[in-house]
Structure 1
Amino acid sequence: MTGISFAAAVPMLIEVGQRLDARGWAPATAGNYSARLDDGSFAVTVSGTHKGRLTPDGIMRVDAAGRGLTPGRPSAETALHLALYRLFPGTGAVLHGHSPHAVGLSRAAGEAGEWVFRGHEMLKAFPGVVSHEGEVRLPMVDNSQDMAEIEAAVRSALVEPGVAPAYLIRSHGLYAWGADLDEAERVLEATEWLIAAELAEQNFREALR
């Protein structure tokens, strides 16, 4: 997969951070974003930065092992980004948000290993989905301070048929990815919309009883 230059990635990641923060998906310093670069390295947000107020200093380069190539300390979850780039070589960008709806669903669903979306027109926002008929599965995995543990727990689910290019870490947040930043943002936004719609439907059903 051919990436973009670091100079091009920086303003794009800054703009993505502003848009996701405006939606309430990047509270405090939560979230982290990355993009594949054309030299084989990766642009990633620096740990502890507010994603709605990113500056060029809040984005650094790391190699495929997560080692810093420019000043800064990469996000603690950089390993999860790199795992997705390895697992899906066509991935050009990874976005991780912390919306209250996504976190709420992951907690309300108890120990469920996935949430299934069925019949939504919005399903067509996912790559390769051409009809609202059918279903798309969103894996869910327990949180851990050990990134290798999270990766091991979710890896097999991500490659199964019918799975979205996204997954939820319980009580934590949502990961989404795509061929480039635009696609990754579309997947994140579509998944967040689907979660909100499902929760709204449940609330209306309760109210109409």
Structure 2
Amino acid sequence: MSESALREAICRFGRSLFERGLTPGSSGNISVRLEDGGWLCTPTDASLGFLDPARIARLDANRRLVSGDKPTKEIPLHDALYDTRPEAGAVVHLHSTHAVAVSMLPEIDPAEALPPLTPYVMMRVGKVALVPFHVPGDPAVGDAIRGLAGKHSAVLLANHGPVVAGTSLQAAVFAMEELEETAKLHLLTRGLNPRLLTPEQQAAVRAKFGV
């Protein structure tokens, strides 16, 4: 996909996420990795619902701004996922309500923040890690994600929001949507002793879909 088409796609997916209430105000950010090692990423303090393709930030391989508006302050978390997930082509970070709510629960397992409620969360998201709270934009959040050693494509930032890496922008967005819906299901069934996928069912999903 050309850079021009990627810029349009970032705006299109951003508008869709915003209009469905998945990230309010000027929250959330999106990046796409380019063939030369640089990135396209959304500007700081920009609403995902009102992005201008020409103003998307273009960074070089050393994360220096080449063109466009000043990039999101969340560069460290995007950088960490690209560094530890070589197959990642895009990263999406939102402040989606249900995922943020789950990140606040005291009983959450940092290694598996969401239970295996459906085969689709396994297929599209995998196990979701939880990392401790950091002030937005703090480089230490990148260190926390690097500490996961690339084992998770999806991470919950405590009291902040989810971040997901995908092989493409579409894959990252779809995985983010699945994560948010699973977080919603988890909250709706919390305390009701929901029936999770059994270890045998999980193994069957992994075997069939290579997850």
Listed as ranges, the gaps of 5+ residues in structure 1 are 128-135
Native 8 Å contact 1:66 1:79 kept in 2: no
Deviation by residue 1:27-71 (Cα, 9 ceiling, x = unmatched): 010000011123321000011111111112441101233210003
Q: If the length of structure 1 is used for normalisation, what is the TM-score? A: 0.83
Q: Which amino acid in 1 is paired with 2:131?
A: V
Tell me the SS of whatever aligns to 2:61: coil
Q: Which amino acid in 1 is paired with 2:186?
A: E
Native 8 Å contact 1:125 1:190 kept in 2: no
Residue 118 to residue 124, structure 1, CA distance change in 2 (3 Å): closer
Q: Distance in 2 between matches of 1:100 and 1:116?
A: 15
Q: Distance in 1 between matches of 2:68 and 2:145?
A: 31
Native 8 Å contact 1:5 1:37 kept in 2: no
**In the alignment, which residue of structure 2 is the partner of 1:133?**
none
Q: Distance in 2 between matches of 1:179 and 1:109?
A: 32
Q: Distance in 2 between matches of 1:192 and 1:140?
A: 14
Residue 73 to residue 180, structure 1, CA distance change in 2 (3 Å): same
Q: Distance in 1 between matches of 2:70 and 2:62?
A: 14
Q: If the length of structure 2 is used for normalisation, what is the TM-score? A: 0.82
Work out whether 1:103 is the aligned partner of 2:100: yes
Native 8 Å contact 1:49 1:58 kept in 2: no
5 Å-filtered alignment, 1:120-139, equals: 120-126=118-124, 136-139=126-129
Work out whether 1:117 is the aligned partner of 2:115: yes
Native 8 Å contact 1:29 1:51 kept in 2: yes
Residue 60 to residue 192, structure 1, CA distance change in 2 (3 Å): same
**In the alignment, which residue of structure 2 is the partner of 1:175?**
163
Q: Which amino acid in 1 is paired with 2:134?
A: S
Work out whether 1:141 is the aligned partner of 2:138: no
Q: Which shows bigger deviation, 184-193 or 49-58?
A: 49-58
CA apart distance, 1:107: 0.8
Deviation by residue 1:171-195 (Cα, 9 ceiling, x = unmatched): 1111011110111111111111111
Native 8 Å contact 1:91 1:180 kept in 2: yes
**In the alignment, which residue of structure 2 is the partner of 1:72?**
69
Listed as ranges, the gaps of 5+ residues in structure 2 are 194-211
Deviation by residue 1:122-162 (Cα, 9 ceiling, x = unmatched): 235327xxxxxxxx4211112223532112223232534xx
- Give the total of aligned pairs: 192
Q: Which amino acid in 2 is paired with 1:45?
A: T
Percent of paired sites with the same residue: 28
**In the alignment, which residue of structure 2 is the partner of 1:35?**
32
**In the alignment, which residue of structure 2 is the partner of 1:50?**
47
Q: Which amino acid in 2 is paired with 1:139?
A: A
RMSD: 2.2
Native 8 Å contact 2:80 2:143 kept in 1: no
Residue 186 to residue 111, structure 1, CA distance change in 2 (3 Å): closer
Q: Which amino acid in 2 is paired with 1:39?
A: D
5 Å-filtered alignment, 1:75-86, equals: 75-86=72-83
Q: Distance in 2 between matches of 1:181 and 1:37?
A: 11
